[in-house]
Amino acid sequence: MDYLSEKMTLSDSNAKAIQLHLLRTITEGFAEKLKVGSGGYGEVYKGLLNGDEIAVKKLFPVPGLNDEAFDNEFRNLKKVQHKNVIRMIGYCYEISHRDVEYQGQLVWAQVIDRALCFEYMKGGSLVNHISDESCVHDWPTTYKIIHGACEGLHYLHKGQEQKIFHLDLKPDNVLLDEDFVPKIGDFGLSKLFGSSYTHQLSSKKGTIGFMPPEYINNCHVSPKNDVFSLGVIIFHMMAGKKGCQEYWDARQRPNFSAKIQQEFIGSVQEYWKTKMLATEGYRWDETDLLGVTTCIDMAMRCVENERDKRPYMKDIISELNKLDSEVVEMLKKDPKPLICQLKRKNRVNDLEVVKQHKSLNDLGKDISVDPSVELRFPFEPKKDISCCLQLTNKAASSYIAFTINIDVNKYCAQPSKGILAPCSKCYITITLRPQEEAPLNMQCVDVLVMQGIRVSEHFTSDEITQDIHANAGAVDEVILPIAYIALDNQPLSQ
């Protein structure tokens, strides 16, 4: 057994070994039609493995790369676990001998195939979500992407056992899921592939690229490299490539001043205000203005020429956390209505609404719900069946009164209402009452509705009445479809 195969066999079970022939099968021989990306490190293909979509990055051959170096970086990738970092789910490393043409003759040559498999991100790369003017989404979603990308990079920099510098951070390597949650990819590969690939990102004279001057000129590596790249990404999201270049050009001029800098901040503020005022049902206010100002100012400091003037990621996260706390306090005095907030009295068509608004349950609300997609019951006739729902109050200083609305003739929720303290969790047991038989083909059209509103610290569960949410100015609302799952030994009703 060769070195790497032996080491991987002994590794933990988080990422599975996947044979090359299986990867060829699920990508139809690495077909061009299934290619979803290409970069300096390899080409990415979409595949279907055990019913789940995955991304297969087939790495380019690397002359001189030894097994031990690849194994070390492979192990670094496997240990990374964060909501804003791409999760690796499998790998492939195979050595074969093939006849290849060499100097006009066919010879047997040793060929090494390497591939890494990751969770598939339906939202694609961030580059597809940025126009010439800015991020194409509204401000809450744009801020969500900025904050998540910062969290992911901070996680890599602080490290669990070893700090990881990305050294190739750009919009192509920030991927989004279907709910626009950002995840950083292609980290850790720059060590293996060397600086020649990263230098392809170097800016032309007079233009701003994603790599800082000290790296372009002297190949100096530090965590501030990634901070510079992050700043350029935020710039592109806030002011577009054109705005980023205009600011860069202005900063190179001898007459650049704090006044010019402030005028640029003002133009970014005005752009986002105009954009959001044109969004139906959205109220632009001081919380948005504060967020835009904080983010563009932060981006300016990230792209300073002198790396010592740039902040560290821990400073950026501290600044964003402070912003979030200030926004919470501002909204306590003047709550903002939710975008697309549902105010319908009649909930007959709730399930159809969920299908049409796939990201309805992730609009930056105070309460997050787990599971967030649907509530599943492993159905058995004539038995009580229970599952658990976790509610989390994400607000740093607000108390939340919640109620669980569900068909009481079929289900029981315990508790059905309550108070969530700031940054706390509670668990709701949902019980399906005994049913005589399974519905046809396990089809279920029931839904669970969770509603929450901010209340004072001294508010009690007894004060939660049926009309409290109807009279509230701003209501968090989550709608979960209910699904029945057949057990292995139970046939479906026909």
Which of the following is catalytic: 113, 138, 168, 226?
168
Instruction: Give the pLDDT score at 331.
Output: 86
Mean pLDDT, all residues of the chain: 80
For residue 354, what pLDDT band results from cuts at 50, 70 and 90? very low
Report which of residues 162 and 208 the model is more confident about: 162
Quote the CA–CA distance of 48 and 352 in Å, as a whole number: 27
pLDDT for residue 364: 42
What tokens does 126 get?
A: 């961030």
CA 57, CA 92: separation in Å to the nearest integer?
10
Predicted pLDDT of residue 71: 66
Collapse the DSSP code of 113 into the 3-class scheme (helix H, G, I; strand E, B; otherwise coil) and give the result.
strand
Is 384 one of the annotated active-site residues of the chain?
no
Q: Is there a contact between 221 and 164 (Cβ–Cβ < 8 Å)? A: no
Answer yes or no: CATH 3.40.50.2300 is held by domain 124-339.
Answer: no
pLDDT of residue 374: 85
Nearest Cα residue to 327 out of 286, 368, 299:
286
Domain 1-120 has CATH 3.30.200.20: yes
Q: Look at residue 350 and tell me whether its pLDDT is greater than 50.
A: no
> Minimal CA–CA distance to 120: which of 181, 54, 58?
54
What residue spans define the domains of the chain?
1-120, 124-339, 350-486
CB-hemisphere CA count at 13 Å for 315? 12
**417 annotated ligand-binding residue:** no
Average pLDDT over residues 314-332: 93
Reading across the β-sheet that carries 124-125, which strands appear in turn?
A: 124-125, 174-176, 182-184
pLDDT, average across residues 434-438: 86
Who wins on pLDDT, 449 or 209? 449
Predicted confidence (pLDDT) per residue in 360-380, tens digit: 333 346 788 888 888 988 888
Which helix (H) or strand (E) covers residue 388, if one does? strand 385-393
Pick from 36-45, 134-143, 382-391, 472-481: least confident: 472-481
Instruction: Note the pLDDT of residue 195.
Output: 44
Query: Residue 18 has what pLDDT?
Result: 86
CA dist., res. 447 & res. 450, Å (int): 10
Lowest mean pLDDT across 153-162, 191-200, 377-386, 416-425: 191-200
User: Looking at the domain 350-486, which fold is it?
Assistant: Immunoglobulin-like (2.60.40)
Give Cα 279 to chain centroid, integer Å. Answer: 24
pLDDT for the residue numbered 141: 94
- State yes or no: pLDDT of 444 exceeds 80: yes
Q: What is the mean pLDDT of residues 384-394?
A: 90
**CA atoms within 13 A of residue 347's CA, in its CB half-sphere:** 19
Exposure string of 332-367, with b = 16+ CB inside 10 Å and e = fewer, is eeeebebeeeeeeeeeeebbeebeeeeebbbbebbb
Structure tokens at 27: 């990508």
Q: How far apart are CA 119 and CA 56, in angstroms?
A: 9
The residue among 175, 305, 141, 318 whose CA lies nearest residue 232 is: 305
- pLDDT for the residue numbered 356: 43
Task: Report which of residues 114 and 360 the model is more confident about.
Answer: 114
- Report the percentage of the chain scoring pLDDT > 90: 31
| Beta pairing class for 42-49 and 124-125 | unpaired
Q: Measured between alpha carbons, how far is residue 233 from residues 52, 139, 226, 240 in Å?
A: 30, 16, 10, 9
Instruction: Name the least confident of 63-77, 337-351, 465-479.
Output: 337-351
What's the rounded Cα separation, in Å, for the pair 206 and 220? 20
Alpha helix stretches (DSSP H) within 278-405: 286-302, 313-333, 350-356
Contact 155, 165 (CB under 8 A): no
Sequential DSSP letters for 270-293 = HHHHHHHHTSTT----HHHHHHHH
pTM of this prediction?
0.63
Report, as an integer, the average pLDDT of 455-473.
74
> What pLDDT is recorded for position 477?
80
How far is Cα of residue 287 from the mean position of the Cα atoms in its chain? 23
